Structure 1
Amino acid sequence: MNLVKSELFKIRSTSTWWIFGLVTLVLWALALLANWASSSISAGVDPAEQGLNPDETEQLRVANAAVNVATNLYTSGQFFGVLMVMLLSAIVVTNEFFHLTATTTFLVTPRRERVVYAKLAASVMFGVGFWLASTLLNLLFVPFILKALDIGTQLGEPAIWRAIGLNALAYALWAILGVGAGVLIRSQLGATITLTMVYVVGSFGASLFFALLSPRLGDWFSKLQVLVPPLASQLMISGTELPGNPPRWVGAVVLIGYAAFAGVLGTWLIKRRDIT
């Protein structure tokens, strides 16, 4: 517990966490506005008049259902929120090498895996903190947006709270992924740039890749999108099961698998690598 407190103090004693917090706040506001605009546009679209095939028509109809519109709004900010959490978690590790404190840290605590566990725990706590802040803001502002869209708050729907809870899990898992990535990429600047590029470009690139090839290869290929971590975490927070997509639990299992791999690999590497 003392190690966890120490790691939390290391994070709080620098300006990094609140800078990431401010950036996350701005990105959350932009995401909420974008989701509002998207919901407003979709509300005026009749799926039957779009010239879509039956499967696509059903997907659009379900996506425009009140509970799914509300779920999308109540989880606004996840895409960039988990990115900020991952970057902050990576910096929890890379800071040790950037400030040349890694040797001291591991001399004080020779069992290196305990240090990694403490960093994982501290990162998850901050990740859940970021989730809590964005969720409280969503619960404050989204009811007004839903009223403007002529939709009830939908807070009586279990699907809303299930999505919010799974969103918390996503933030925690991305924090673990960040720690694992920080062990792999010791450079603070290198980790930040690499992870941002892989996350953002990889997400949009994967979406485009599957969109282009799925019509030729079939639904089975489209469902493989869940193997892309950002897309898996987005699937987790869908309100109801969406036609043509795997169940939400598949997204959770995929993300848990990546997080477990990152955590185990990170611990193994820290124990084997020389610390100078």
Structure 2
Amino acid sequence: MSLMNVSRSEATKQFSTSMWWILAIVLFVYVAFTASALGFVLSASAAGALSTRGPQISADGLPAMIYSAATSVGYVFPLLIGTLMVTSEFRHKTLTPTFLATPRRGLVLGGKALVGVLIGVLYAVVGIVASVAPGAAFLAGFGFDAGFGSSDTWALIGRMVISFVLWVLIGIGVGALVRNQVGAIVGVLVFTQFLEPIGRIAASFVDGLGDVTRFFPGAAGDALVGASVFGGATGAGTAAGDPLTWWAGGLVLLGYAALFLVLGNLFSWRRDVS
């Protein structure tokens, strides 16, 4: 069986379940709410309609900061769907007939990766629409340029698509390496929502720690996009240390995807399924 046939079968398998569109809806609602709140607060603050004690944000940097909410807060969703693409098969034992039909397990994992790229693009569209639509509306409402005439804005959006795709691939690798669905999901949430944020905050107070935390997956993702609601339009997303360039952040994120996929294929994917 060829890679295209395996990918076609994998796509049918994934899109016949409800998990992908349930997570997509949650992603849309979560990002839209966050972008709306940020759009109002940041736009109103920059327009002088709100009294704030924090640093003033340049109007030129507002679009990137607001639009990047899709990846800054929404990246966990493509990561989760990628993980579920694999662990749900272990949980429900559907990998057994798959491996019987296609004994070349690396081909099966490759098919999942190809479908993961498609799902990553789909989730990117959902997340970007959820952040850009309300964000642009609030910017326009307060008299600011939404940035659609700038090539920088479109480059930002393009890098956000790449970021979503890479996060899905990382999730597939994590799922292949950690077979247990509960363990994989808990591990993803603990690291992305607690361990990494704490580490990046700690970098503000510990000299030299920022040089390490900038290579964390979330920080590399922010660097790839080039903006973050947590770190401004700097591309770093880190509290300390020199930021990674966007291409370096992309390479780091790609490295994580390749690492987890290779480790999963070598140490877990080839084990017996029972």
Instruction: Give me the TM-score of the superposition, normalised by structure 1.
Output: 0.84
Alpha-carbon displacement from aligned partner over 1:197-226 (angstroms, at most 9, x marks no partner): 21111232122211221xxx2xx5434332
**Deviation of residue 119 (structure 1)?**
0.7
**Deviation of residue 159 (structure 1)?**
1.5
Do residues 145 (structure 1) and 138 (structure 2) align?
Answer: yes
Residue in 2 that maps onto 1:188: 181
Distance 2:41 2:251 in 1: 29
Kindly tell me: are residues 44 and 203 of structure 1, through their superposed partners in 2, closer, same or farther at Cα, counting changes over 3 Å?
A: farther
More displaced, 93-102 or 141-150?
A: 141-150
Distance 1:236 1:65 in 2: 21
**Deviation of residue 30 (structure 1)?**
2.2
Identity %: 28
**Deviation of residue 37 (structure 1)?**
4.4
Q: Please say if residues 200 and 213 of structure 2, whose CA atoms lie closer than 8 Å, have aligned partners that are also in contact.
A: yes
Matches within 5 A, 1:54-133: 64-133=57-126
Q: Please say if residues 94 and 186 of structure 1, whose CA atoms lie closer than 8 Å, have aligned partners that are also in contact.
A: yes
Distance 1:268 1:242 in 2: 34
Local SS of the residue matching 1:77: helix
Runs of 4+ deviating beyond 4 Å: 239-244
Do residues 237 (structure 1) and 194 (structure 2) align?
Answer: no
Distance 2:155 2:67 in 1: 11
Distance 1:223 1:156 in 2: 35
Do residues 222 (structure 1) and 210 (structure 2) align?
Answer: yes
Listed as ranges, the gaps of 5+ residues in structure 2 are 228-232, 237-241
Distance 1:212 1:177 in 2: 30
Instruction: Give me the TM-score of the superposition, normalised by structure 2.
Output: 0.84
**Deviation of residue 172 (structure 1)?**
0.7
Listed as ranges, the gaps of 5+ residues in structure 1 are 52-59
Residue in 2 that maps onto 1:57: none
More displaced, 32-41 or 146-155?
A: 32-41
Do residues 3 (structure 1) and 6 (structure 2) align?
Answer: yes
Residue in 1 that maps onto 2:230: none
The alignment's C-alpha RMSD in Å is 2.5
Q: Which has the higher helix share?
A: 1
Kindly tell me: are residues 41 and 203 of structure 1, through their superposed partners in 2, closer, same or farther at Cα, counting changes over 3 Å?
A: farther
**Deviation of residue 33 (structure 1)?**
2.5
Residue in 2 that maps onto 1:160: 153
Q: Please say if residues 67 and 159 of structure 1, whose CA atoms lie closer than 8 Å, have aligned partners that are also in contact.
A: no
Local SS of the residue matching 1:227: coil
